[in-house]
Amino acid sequence: MSTDRSWPDPPEPGALVDLPIAAPEVLLDALGYRGDDQHVAIFRGPQGAVWLDDGLLRDGGDLLAWHRFASHPVAEPLARYDLGGAGRDATQWLLVDRDTNQLRVGHAGDVAEVLAGQPHTRDRFTGLRTIERTLGRAVHPDVRAARAPTGPGWQAEAARAGRLLDALTRALDGSQVQQHAADVVAGIGALSARTSTQLHRTPGAGSTAEASSAGPGTSDSPDGARMQPVAAWSSAEADPAGGADRHHGVELS
């Protein structure tokens, strides 16, 4: 099921466009974001790695979680935006608002300005893990982002990543069901409105008065033309010989 519901065209420079889907609340957690900033950008590196950028730090994201999100029917139209990968840098970034779950897309520089203008909840060099990530990017950022977890806690980290991936899948499936139900309700409402309009079309001015003055046995056709009584037509057909002296069953003097 494709849910391409009025997705906007790629943005012009200097503008951000709102997307018609909300970010699952678990999306950034599943991708591996560990900060608390309101706005976080997502984009791809030339070699396919996923990057998370909050304007202070740029960390490698979980590639499997990204594929699970971007390939799901509710998010498939993301492919129309240049978010990078396939041997090219991203010219556009996906921006997540963690307060509202709003998703927007803009040119990389425009999104970077939003990130740079927000207050940050962590310091650039807080903790050895943050320093290692920062230094590791200088060696080979795409390899650093795609590296499998290592160290004493990697099994617990892998298990946590698996739970977050499952939660992301459930959230996306639930969103798909909700969108399908909304589309069905909207379709029924539109059909009902059209039917109601056809059945209750308001007659033209004066038609009621004309109908009452025409006397019994007459009626108006749907297009406003006067229709003769059925009995008058029947009498003319029943007396062909008198057709010269009769006009639809009414004697002429």
Tally DSSP H helices, then E strands, for the chain: 8, 10
Of 82 and 139, the structure prediction assigns the larger pLDDT to: 82
What's the number of CA atoms in the CB half-sphere (13 Å) around residue 28?
26
Long-range contacts of 87-91 (CB under 8 A, 24+ apart): 87/46, 87/47, 88/46, 89/45, 89/46, 90/43, 90/44, 90/45
Of 198 and 60, the structure prediction assigns the larger pLDDT to: 60
What is the spatial distance between Cα 179 and Cα 148, in angstroms, rounded to a whole number?
35
Mean pLDDT score, 209-228 = 47
- How much is the pLDDT for 94? 98
Of 175 and 171, the structure prediction assigns the larger pLDDT to: 171
Minimum mean pLDDT among 84-88, 99-103, 136-140: which range?
136-140
What's the number of CA atoms in the CB half-sphere (13 Å) around residue 80?
13
Of 173, 159, 133, the residue nearest 24 (C-alpha)? 173
- How much is the pLDDT for 158? 80
What's the number of CA atoms in the CB half-sphere (13 Å) around residue 31?
27
Instruction: Report the mean per-residue pLDDT for the chain.
Output: 74
19 close to 81: Cβ distance less than 8 angstroms: no
- How much is the pLDDT for 197? 73
Q: Is the dihedral of CA 85, 86, 90, 92 positive or negative?
A: negative
- How much is the pLDDT for 95? 98
- Domain positions in the chain are 16-181
> Which neighbouring-strand residues pair with 50?
44
What is the spatial distance between Cα 253 and Cα 247, in angstroms, rounded to a whole number?
11
pTM for this one? 0.61
pLDDT band at 160 (very low <50, low <70, confident <90, very high): confident
Mean pLDDT score, 90-95 = 97
| Residue 8 reports pLDDT greater than 70 | yes
pLDDT band at 103 (very low <50, low <70, confident <90, very high): very high
Q: Which amino acid is at 124?
A: R
What is the spatial distance between Cα 4 and Cα 155, in angstroms, rounded to a whole number?
38
| Residue 9 reports pLDDT greater than 90 | yes
What is the spatial distance between Cα 2 and Cα 190, in angstroms, rounded to a whole number?
20
| Residue 123 reports pLDDT greater than 50 | yes
Minimum mean pLDDT among 8-12, 52-56, 138-142, 213-217: which range?
138-142
8 close to 18: Cβ distance less than 8 angstroms: yes
| Residue 106 reports pLDDT greater than 70 | yes
Report phi then psi at 47, rounded to 5: -90, 5
- How much is the pLDDT for 52? 96
| Residue 226 reports pLDDT greater than 70 | no
Residue 61 exposed, middle or buried by CB count within 10 Å (0-12, 13-18, 19+): buried
pLDDT tens digits for 14-52?
Answer: 999 999 999 999 999 999 998 999 999 999 999 889 999
